[in-house]
Amino acid sequence: MLSPRVAGQAAQQRPGEFYTIATLGSHSALQILKGARDEGFRTLAIANDDTANLYRSFAFVDEVIQIPKYEDFPQIMRDLEQRKLIIVPHGSFVAYLSLDEHKKMRTPYFGNKAVLDWEASRELQRQWLQRAGLKLPRQFKTGAEIDRPVIVKFYGAQGGKGYLFLKDAHDFEEKAALLARRNYILQEYIIGVPLYIHYFYSPLTGKLEIMSMDRRYETNVDSIGRIPAVAQSVMDVSPSYVVVGNSPVSLRESMLAEAYRMGEEVVRVSREICPPKGLFGAFCLETIITPEAEFYLMEISARIVAGTNLFIDGSPYSYLNYDEPMSTGRRIAREIKNALLSNSLELVLDDSGLN
Ligand code: ATP
């Protein structure tokens, strides 16, 4: 067996032979694992009974660990800890594991778990984005305060499911039965174009990159405009915000500097609220752009988002930075590889995994 020092040196030359990149088999796992393989790592998908065969069918997946359901993941954490692997989280980790389970994970983890608390609480998230000087939709504490159209966001909703549009305080009164005994926020409805901006911040170089952008295709809000307004009023149709897909967007170049600045500010403030590392790696700002070309922030996702799956082969923006296809998944693996090569793996891993 190699001594740790010799193994460390060898790993610097051939990181893939020594480290496995692992993730849950869903969300953006294919992109993450393909990117990991392209950067020379071994790859592991932790899949469930429904998805295991799918992940086995891809040549770039070296190994599949099958568990009955994703919620069973904590049961295999001990075994994973014995191996030389790095977990790359995505949206399904947040969906299937509690914050506590996340934090108990001792396996080396790409990202900063401290940021999770700020992201998970709508209140803390708002404070973070406000401190970064970003524009946020107004929030109303009670129905009586509503003086403009609002969107009702129920806690725990995913992908916009179940959100309600209310045109005024009177509308709120009428929907009172639907809202009773549920937790929600009342947020100013911003009329504009939704744009999801995918960033990558490198703790190794201190540089922020715009990786790609997408817009979501939501039913039925994206099709209501196809019905003449006169017909809409007699149909009494209400918008819903259920995501069915994503499409790529390239932003007007004159708006790009502001998109970049917003990313920089979010990273800057993250270092104040979650010192010293703050937010690093992939993240997404979910915005709506108004006719005045102002960006309103709906939300931040502090990790790789599914909209990046459109760009497994790279995007117009990643092409400007790289002469090869560079997905966000591959960019993550590149960062881990660069960290290994410069002997600074601790800079790209959550601190609790290093104990
Ligand atoms: P996910 O967790 O998958 O990002 P979510 O449940 O947090 O989804 P949001 O992304 O906050 O939902 O919103 C879903 C959709 O609702 C958005 O894509 C957008 O169309 C609409 N939406 C959200 N907030 C606003 C707002 N303030 N004004 C107008 N539309 C909004």
Query: What torsion, rounded to 10 degrees, do the Cα atoms 214, 216, 222, 223 define?
Result: 100
pLDDT of residue 16: 63
Residue 1 predicted with pLDDT over 60: no
- With a CB cutoff of 8 Å and minimum separation 6, the contacts of 68 are 48, 49
Structure tokens at 144: 């009586």
**Count, residues in the chain:** 355
From 26, 163, 243, mutation site for ligand 1 pocket: most ligand atoms within 8 A of C-beta: 163
Question: What's the mean pLDDT in 13-39?
Answer: 90
Atom of ligand 1 nearest to the CA of 301: 4
Reference 49, options 30, 71, 74; nearest CA is: 71
Looking at the structure, give the CATH architecture of the domain made up of residues 4-132+191-220+243-353: 2-Layer Sandwich (3.30)
Residue 192 predicted with pLDDT over 60: yes
Query: Which is higher by pLDDT, 325 or 233?
Result: 325
Ligand 1 near 189 CB (within 6 A): yes
pLDDT of residue 225: 87
CATH class of this structure's domain 139-188 = alpha beta
Beta-bridge partner residues of 116? none
Ligand 1 near 158 CB (within 6 A): yes
Q: Contact 42/21 with Cβ under 8 angstroms? A: yes
Residues of each domain in the chain carrying CATH 3.30.470.20 = 4-132+191-220+243-353
pTM: 0.92
pLDDT of residue 239: 87
Q: Tell the residue nearest (CA) to atom 1 of ligand 1.
A: 159
Q: Tell the residue nearest (CA) to atom 24 of ligand 1.
A: 298
Distance separating alpha carbons of residues 246 and 311, to the nearest angstrom: 11
Ligand 1 near 208 CB (within 6 A): no
Q: Is the dihedral of CA 71, 76, 81, 83 positive or negative?
A: negative
Residue 14: pLDDT band with limits 50, 70, 90: low
Residue 3: pLDDT band with limits 50, 70, 90: very low
**Within its chain, how far is the Cα of 102 from the centroid?**
15
Beta-bridge partner residues of 64? 45
Q: Tell the residue nearest (CA) to atom 23 of ligand 1.
A: 298
Question: What's the mean pLDDT in 119-141?
Answer: 96
Residues of each domain in the chain carrying CATH 3.30.1490 = 139-188
Ligand 1 centroid – CA 160 distance (Å): 5
Ligand 1 centroid – CA 153 distance (Å): 8
- With a CB cutoff of 8 Å and minimum separation 6, the contacts of 200 are 208, 209, 211, 281, 282, 283, 328, 331, 332, 335
Ligand 1 near 13 CB (within 6 A): no
Q: Tell the residue nearest (CA) to atom 26 of ligand 1.
A: 189
